[in-house]
Structure 1
Amino acid sequence: MSKKARDKEVYLDIDLRNFETRIKPLITKELIEEHRLNPIGKHSEQLDVVLNFFRRHHEQLEGKYVIVCTKPHEEWCIGEHPAVRGERPQLFEDEKFDSREAAEHGLFLKRLRHFGVVI
């Protein structure tokens, strides 16, 4: 294993432990409700910490969840970034929303499930 690959593996392991010990305890029903009521804009410090954790790893595009507007001002879907420039994201057709705010909250819930948080 190369040093770069090993360093990345160690970083991701530390990152996961950070999630389990620092981020996950912040996630409560009240925090989820705060996000539902205000998915875009100013948030509490706790919600900011959780959102910043989820939004990290910008260099990792493959598999990253994204919001895609499928009908301007009418419909948004959650998709998965293909990590290849010019290719379209894979859309999750069963995850459609009628507002950007609802899509943002749907994406938040999907990320929670991805990290094993039971909602």
Structure 2
Amino acid sequence: MLSAGISDPRAYRDRQQDWYAHFDRTRRREIASLLTEELIAEHAANPIGYRDFHSPQLQRVLNYMRTQPVLGKYFVYTRKAWQDYGIAVIQDRGEPPHILEGHSYESEAAAMHAVFLLRAQEIRDSVRESAR
């Protein structure tokens, strides 16, 4: 039996995406508030995280970044092993990644921190944009 107001279930709009967007906006505001200069310095000192454990705040930020959709995500790639690393962006399936020009790093750790900074800036920008 259908509830009152829904005569055709096919015409019902699934509101799951609305709730996901609401939750993500709330979560992004929280994550943006954690992106302090101290947290960024902590990541710069230990971007890989296996020498020492990351603080709970940094781990929370990294977990959020890792759970974002894959398309459009920055990643580190190797141009020359142990000497030259770059940054690229994941494109649609079957398309090659978009290589970012002007991003060359001598270590994987430096490139990983650069990706962290790019992702952090995207989070800050989206929070500012949603506040307007």
TM-score, reference length from structure 2: 0.75
Maintained 8 Å contact 1:68/1:79: yes
Maintained 8 Å contact 2:32/2:124: no
Which residue of the other structure, out of 62, 80, 85, is the alignment partner of 2:89? 80
Match status 1:93 vs 2:101: yes
TM-score, reference length from structure 1: 0.83
Which position in structure 2 is the counterpart of 1:49? 60
Match status 1:31 vs 2:42: no
Maintained 8 Å contact 1:61/1:83: no
Which position in structure 2 is the counterpart of 1:62? 71
- What SS is found at the alignment partner of 2:88? strand
Q: How many residues align?
A: 111
Matched residues in 2 for 1:96 and 1:9: separation?
39
Q: Point out which structure has higher relative CO (alpha carbons under 8 A, 6+ apart).
A: 2
Q: Indicate the structure with greater strand content.
A: 1
The 4+ residue runs of structure 1 with deviation greater than 6 A are none
Deviation for aligned residue 1:45: 0.6
Which position in structure 1 is the counterpart of 2:6? none
Unaligned runs of 5+ in 1: none
Comparing 34-43 and 7-16, the one that deviates more: 7-16
Alignment deviations for residues 6-65 of structure 1 (CA, whole Å, 9 cap, x no partner): 423430331121121x222222111100000000112011100011111103xx322111
Which position in structure 1 is the counterpart of 2:112? 104
Matched residues in 1 for 2:35 and 2:106: separation?
26
CA RMSD of aligned residues (A): 1.8
Deviation for aligned residue 1:2: 5.0
Q: Which amino acid aligns with 1:7?
A: Q
Matched residues in 2 for 1:105 and 1:19: separation?
19
